[in-house]
Amino acid sequence: MRKIDVFDTTLRDGEQSAGINLNTAEKLEIARQLERFNADVIEAGFPASSQGDFEAVKKIAQTVKGSIVTGLARSIKSDIDTSWEALKYGEQPHIHIFLATSPIHMTHKLKKTPDQVVDIAVESVKYAKKNFPLVQWSAEDAFRSDPDFLVRVVKEVIKAGATTINLPDTVGYATPSEYGAMFRHLKENVPGIDRVKLSAHCHNDLGMAVANTIAAIENGADQVEGTINGLGERAGNAALEELAVALHIRKDKFTFGTDVKLDEIKRTSQLVSQLTGMAIQANKAVVGKNAFAHESGIHQDGMLKERTTYEIITPELIGENSTQIVLGKHSGRHAFKDKAIALGFELSDEKITEAFKAFKALADKKKEISEDDLYVLLTDQQIQEEEVPVYELKSVQVQYGNGSIPTASVSVISPDGDLLQEASTGSGSVEAICNTLERLVQGKVHLLDYRVTSIGKGRDALGEAVVNMTYNGKSTTGRDVAQDVLEASAKAYLNAINRQLVNERKRSYAKTV
């Protein structure tokens, strides 16, 4: 069976989804899980885009050893130099350079002639090869490029030293037969193309990203690029969990497959959803909560008689345990720590202690703590960065009635350590809380999006609130959990403010160093 490499770009292309704003600790946690998922290449970010991205890529390159770590760069020397400073700590330093090759991009965006584009591509690859042993070159908008020009530029960048050639369907316009034909055309017309790895990168604007990716493999691609849960700009990228499971389930048809650890899919998907704040649609293939649910009477009857009548994928395949071991208020610290290790968490004794305290507090309110609850508690501890003064919620009270105006009273500790109290009204309880908090924080707030989802099942389930806003003109995202969704909403609001304050302090510190 032909081995297909998996290039995960959740931390780069996936983070470009509207409303996602990951900090360094969250990116590192996802990168560690992608390593357990067994991604061959992890695209950790775009080092030259910001100081925050640079630091995240550098930290991931220093930490992750089981997967190749790469970063994106434009075809300019300063981007390549910055990428080297971030990625030189990796086991196999890898850079991903891109340059647009379609007529519409060359004319309107680059304002370059085809000859100039070839020269820029060649020079950037040669320059990168001075330091990087692994250089991936991407023809942005490859599918809408002239086939003969694509052959020409790919031929030249291979001569310049590129080790991987990526041919993206950047705007998700291709059909499977067309996208596969592009790979076949290059395989048949580019001298020396067998010396490099061909990679497929598909967007999902027309819902064909996974199908297009499989068509590329059938026509010579040796690497596939995508994201967990199909995150990405606009309609997203090819969902890697769908692709890996499809190749596994249909191995009767396909003569190729990945080395992805399928039983890590559920945890990887859940972690990415939790930290990005992007909920997974219920009917999402492979990882949606309805993926293994059967409501129709005919389906239920068939399942009871023989599971394979309606189930081609088992929950166990992707790491979804049908029987979960739950903990309760009588569970001890040792059992809690063992469960944390079994779930894949590596926490210091101090963080285990803090997580255990949070577990005990929740166990006093909830009869049983599910694995979903534990994921939230343990992940929150694992991504804790160094403590800095931020806003801390002390109390929130809401008065509400059919015939009265909702009123919220909130107390917080300010970053200076002062106790602040305020009250305000709104058309609903959540708006009253937000209006009150806006009076307490120093800055201008504009709420862009707000959502609450249930973690687990039952009336005592945790509620997770996600808030997208601008704070002093800059976008930020906050999330938090509590059994009371109003408390979770207030904590998520402050989390968004605090994340922005921490980022500003880091940028200020970086300038003074």
Whether residue 237 is annotated as binding a ligand: the answer is yes
* Amino acid identity for residue 352 in this structure: I
Comparing CA positions, the residue from 155, 49, 47 lying closest to residue 101 is: 155
**Residue written as token pair 């690859």:** 125
Q: Which residue has the tokens 């050639």?
A: 165
Neighbours of 309 (CB within 10 A): 14
User: Which residues does 508 contact at the CB level (< 8 Å), separation at least 6?
Assistant: none
The residues near 394 (Cβ < 8 Å, ≥ 6 apart) are: 411, 412, 413, 419
Q: Do the strands 256-257 and 223-226 form a parallel or antiparallel pair, or are they unpaired?
A: unpaired
What is the token pair recorded at 46?
């775009």
Helix 176-189 with 209-218: angle, nearest 10 deg: 30
Parallel, antiparallel, or unpaired for β 407-413 and 392-399? antiparallel
Which amino acid does the sequence have at 29? E
Q: Binding residue per annotation — 201?
A: yes
3-state secondary structure 173-210: CCCHHHHHHHHHHHHHHCCCHHHCEEEEEEECCCCCHH
Comparing C-alpha atoms, which of 476, 460, 269, 317 is closest to residue 390? Answer: 476
Q: Which two tokens stand for residue 421?
A: 């109290």
User: Does the annotation list 330 as a binding residue?
Assistant: no
- DSSP secondary structure letter of residue 287: T
* 96 among annotated binding-site residues: no
Residues 90 and 70: their CA atoms lie apart, in Å, by 9
CA 468, CA 129: separation in Å to the nearest integer? 41
H helices, E strands: number in the chain:
16, 16
Instruction: Take residue 37 and report the two structure tokens written for it.
Output: 């998922």
Please calculate the CA angle 154-156-162 and round it to the nearest 5 degrees. 70
Token output for 413 = 């500790």
Query: Coil, helix or strand for 409?
Result: strand
Cα–Cα distances (Å) from 290 to 72, 208, 246, 248, 344, in that order, read 35, 21, 18, 21, 25
* Rounded CA Rg of the chain: 25
Token pair, residue 428, equals 């609903």
155-160's contacts with Cβ under 8 Å and 24+ in sequence apart are 155/190, 155/191, 155/192, 156/118, 156/121, 156/122, 157/121, 157/122, 157/125, 158/190, 158/192, 158/193, 158/195, 158/196, 159/122, 159/192, 160/121, 160/122, 160/123, 160/125, 160/126, 160/129
DSSP code for 39: -
- Please state the residue numbers annotated as binding site for Mn(2+): 13, 201, 203, 237
- Please state the residue numbers annotated as binding site: 13, 201, 203, 237
